[in-house]
Amino acid sequence: VCKRCAEMQVANPLDKYSVSTLEFNKTLAQYEEDAAVQSAIAALMGAPPGGAAAVTEASSSLTPKKLLDIHKFMLSEYEKLAGADKASKDATVLSFAAQAYVAGKTEAQFKIASKDIEDAMLTHEGALTSDPEFAAVNKKLQQAIAKLLG
């Protein structure tokens, strides 16, 4: 997967400002409660304007509990990757490759597209943000990704 991502020569916009992904994520974490920052990140991630999620049959079938299960699975996959030898891998390529790999594994495991998961996350945002278990899994997920890229 890393080789394929490297061949694609995906440009990381952070490189233009000499900022690592880890530094960027740390900066974002400082402002995670800021509504304007949340809105800007949602727009960058492709969320529809106004935060309204596109509801499909697949996305509407995902409950907050199922989304928690999906995130637990993603966490286990990122933890496996974080423990693997990644010497001499470019962090940008590694980041894109890891995202593609985990998305593919998740889609195969749960038989649902990443877009549907993202839409369901937006639909259930209120329930998920108030769920301490989901917050804990998300924090571990961020830590695993940071370890992978670190």
Let me know the angle formed at the C-alpha of 22 by 17 and 25, rounded to the nearest 5 degrees: 90
pLDDT tens-digit map of 79-89: 998 887 666 56
Tens-place pLDDT, residues 46-80: 666 655 556 778 888 999 999 999 999 999 999 99
Distances (CA, A) of 34 to 38, 96, 104, 107: 6, 27, 32, 31
Q: For residue 1, what pLDDT is reported?
A: 52
Torsion angle, CA of 39/42/43/45, rounded to 10 degrees?
Answer: 160
Helices (H), the chain: 2-8, 21-30, 35-44, 57-60, 64-83, 91-110, 114-123, 125-129, 132-149
Distance CA 75, CA 97 (A): 16
pLDDT of residue 10: 64
User: According to the model, what pLDDT value does residue 117 have?
Assistant: 92
pLDDT one-digit tens code per residue, 112-136: 999 899 889 888 988 998 999 999 9
- On whether the pTM is more than 0.85, the answer is no
Boundaries of every domain in the chain: 2-10+55-149
pLDDT, tens digit, 9 for 90 and up, residues 102-113: 999 999 999 999
- Burial of 110 by CB count in 10 Å (0-12 exposed, 13-18 middle, 19+ buried)? middle
